[in-house]
Amino acid sequence: MGCLPESGGCERRRTDPFVDHLNWLEGTNYAHSVCLDIVYRNSPQPEALYVDEDSGARLVIERKNLVWPPEYAVGHKNDHFLVDLVTEGLGNLINDDAYELQLDLGVSASRVELKEFAGQISQTVRARFPEIRAGMRVGSPQAGRRWAFWHGDRLQRAFEGAPETGLGVHWDVPTSQDSTGKPPDGFLKDLARLFGACVPKFEPYMDARRILVIEQHGDMRYMGAGWWKRVLDVVMLPPEIQELWDGMFDWLDDHQQGWTFEKLYPSPDLANLDLKPAKASDENPENSF
């Protein structure tokens, strides 16, 4: 599950990892110069300007979240709201050891319904806590309200570099959009609007290298360059956007999280894609789930 980052403020925590990857990949030496949209607030600006310390070449980067379907953002907020309620309902009960909670991703419910659902979970866990401590897994298979709770493994947590006590949350992520299917019309319209919003930001920097980095969320999260080639055959990039990349903070393996980047335009050689991840990290840039 990828968490939706909050917008606003300097985006260096997200653009710097991309530039580090670019420097590694191309042998360049770009260094951060200024957060453009912070310094020049009265006109449309990209996120940041980088300058190559060897050649003097300029690079400007705009970063956008791309969310599909639109209701994914609502479901994402519901997920966090639900977990906060369950954590509050369990209180100090889960502070002494490792416990795990599994939920469906993107629960569809009102705030009142989420409070009822969280109450059911916390009440069941409290009532059956001795059995859970003894190794029993409790929960419900009800569609739309599936959940499971069990006693975790502190040694496994320590091995993964995770907190050894408290609640660990796991979401069942539904299968992504079919990568061989036709991109949804609504998605294509949203993408065209996103590209159009970037044009006035890049226009003052036509002498610089201009890159749009998107972070995909929802059904489109794991779509790669092959799928994007079909998308860009329908929605053309304006000339103000020279390059399009995907940037994702996600699990690199079973134990480490970090950034990965993939070039989407100009079309890379799909037979020789460079998928080397950026440096692994134990910390999400948003410090969230």
Model confidence at 156: pLDDT above 90: no
The predicted model gives 86-98 an average pLDDT of: 93
Same domain as 143, residue 109? yes
For the question of whether the overall pTM of this predicted structure is more than 0.75, the answer is no
Last residue of a domain, one of 172, 197, 227: 172
Same domain as 64, residue 192? yes
Model confidence at 74: pLDDT above 70: no
Range of the domain at 155: 73-172
Same domain as 46, residue 22? yes
Model confidence at 40: pLDDT above 60: yes
Whether 18 maps to a domain, the answer reads yes
Model confidence at 17: pLDDT above 60: yes
Last residue of a domain, one of 152, 172, 192: 172
Higher pLDDT, 70 or 153: 153
Q: Quick one: pLDDT at residue 67? A: 81
The predicted model gives 260-280 an average pLDDT of: 63
Q: Quick one: pLDDT at residue 7? A: 52
Whether 3 maps to a domain, the answer reads no
Same domain as 188, residue 101? no
Same domain as 163, residue 112? yes
Q: Which of 70-84, 98-112, 182-196, 229-243 has the lowest mean pLDDT?
A: 70-84
Into how many domains does the chain fold?
A: 2
Return the closest-CA partner of residue 2 out of 230, 165, 214, 183.
214
Average confidence score pLDDT of the chain: 84
Same domain as 85, residue 97? yes
Residue written as token pair 């998308």? 231
Same domain as 85, residue 63? no
Q: Quick one: pLDDT at residue 269? A: 56
Higher pLDDT, 177 or 262: 262
Model confidence at 88: pLDDT above 50: yes
Cβ(215)–Cβ(64) under 8 Å?
Answer: yes
Same domain as 119, residue 204? no
* 47 C-beta neighbours (distance < 10 Å), count: 21
Q: Quick one: pLDDT at residue 265? A: 93
Task: List, in sequence order, every residue forming a beta bridge with 171; answer none if it has no partner.
Answer: 103
Whether 256 maps to a domain, the answer reads yes
Model confidence at 166: pLDDT above 50: yes
User: Confidence class of residue 227 from pLDDT cuts 50, 70 and 90?
Assistant: confident
Same domain as 220, residue 168? no
Whether 287 maps to a domain, the answer reads no
Last residue of a domain, one of 138, 172, 206: 172
Whether 4 maps to a domain, the answer reads no
Task: List, in sequence order, every residue forming a beta bridge with 166; answer none if it has no partner.
Answer: 98
Whether 1 maps to a domain, the answer reads no
Q: Quick one: pLDDT at residue 272? A: 43
Model confidence at 202: pLDDT above 90: yes
Q: Which of 164-173, 223-232, 251-260 has the lowest mean pLDDT?
A: 251-260
Q: How far apart are CA 148 and CA 153, in angstroms?
A: 15
